[in-house]
């Protein structure tokens, strides 16, 4: 369950929400790859790592562009995650999927992503909605139905 994206993680942001859902999907693929032969797990973790780095860079660019007050603390959290993911990849490449590494991929990485999204990213989404409403998702309720042609 913890590898599933859930609606409480919504930022109401057109770029960041799909990226978050994609990261959870890639973590699920990695968790499923534990049972597959060969280097399937490492391939899946590499795909997750690449998507994560691209996503975090996008988030950090937005935080700088909007002068988000928590951007330095937020980036520190990103840097720690990237370091942890690289460490897990290197350990799996060296030692294979040991029980402790499997537990990290199945449980701790999704939990971290969930925690970070809820505690760090959701407030960022609220800040963006307050300060740059044009970047937030269109709210169909607030926007109302499309105008009828004459
Ligand atoms: Fe973040």
pLDDT at 105 (0 to 100)? 94
Q: How far is the CA of 43 from the centre of ligand 1 (A)?
A: 24
CB 85 within 8 A of CB 108: no
- Per the rule left: phi > 0, alpha: psi between -120 and 50, beta: everything else, 38 is left
Q: How far apart are CA 100 and CA 123, in angstroms?
A: 32
55 half-sphere exposure, CB direction, 13 A CA radius:
24
Walk along the chain (150 residues) in steps of 10 and give the mean pLDDT of each run.
Answer: 83 95 96 92 96 97 96 96 94 93 94 95 95 56 47
Q: How far is the CA of 116 from the centre of ligand 1 (A)?
A: 6
Q: What are the residue boundaries of the structural domains of the chain, listed by start?
A: 12-133
Q: What number does CATH give the domain 12-133?
A: 1.20.120.50
Q: How far is the CA of 79 from the centre of ligand 1 (A)?
A: 10
């Amino acid at each position: 369950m913890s590898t599933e994206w859930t609606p409480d993680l919504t930022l109401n942001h057109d770029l960041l929400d799909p990226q978050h859902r994609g990261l959870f999907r890639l973590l699920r693929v990695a968790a499923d790859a534990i049972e597959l032969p060969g280097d399937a797990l490492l391939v899946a973790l590499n795909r997750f790592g690449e998507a994560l780095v691209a996503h975090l860079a996008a988030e950090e660019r937005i935080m700088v562009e909007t002068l988000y007050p928590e951007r330095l603390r937020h980036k520190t959290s990103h840097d720690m995650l990237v370091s942890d993911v690289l460490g897990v990849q290197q350990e799996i490449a060296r030692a294979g999927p040991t029980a402790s590494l499997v537990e990290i991929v199945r449980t701790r990485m999704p939990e971290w992503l969930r925690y970070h999204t809820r505690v760090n990213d959701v407030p960022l989404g609220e800040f963006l909605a307050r300060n740059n409403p044009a970047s937030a998702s269109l709210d169909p309720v607030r926007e109302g139905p499309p105008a009828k042609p004459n």
